[in-house]
Amino acid sequence: MLAVSRSALGGAALTQEQIAERVLTVVKNFGKVDAGKVQLDSHFMEDLGLDSLDTVEVVMAIEEEFAVEIPDEDADRILSIKQAVEYLSKHPEAK
Catalytic positions are: 51
Residue 54 CA: distances (Å) to CA of 9, 10, 27: 31, 34, 11
Phi, psi of 55 (to 5 degrees): -60, -40
Q: How far apart are CA 25 and CA 42, in angstroms?
A: 13
Contact present, 88 and 94 (Cβ < 8 Å):
yes
Q: Is 8 helix (H, G, I), strand (E, B) or coil?
A: helix
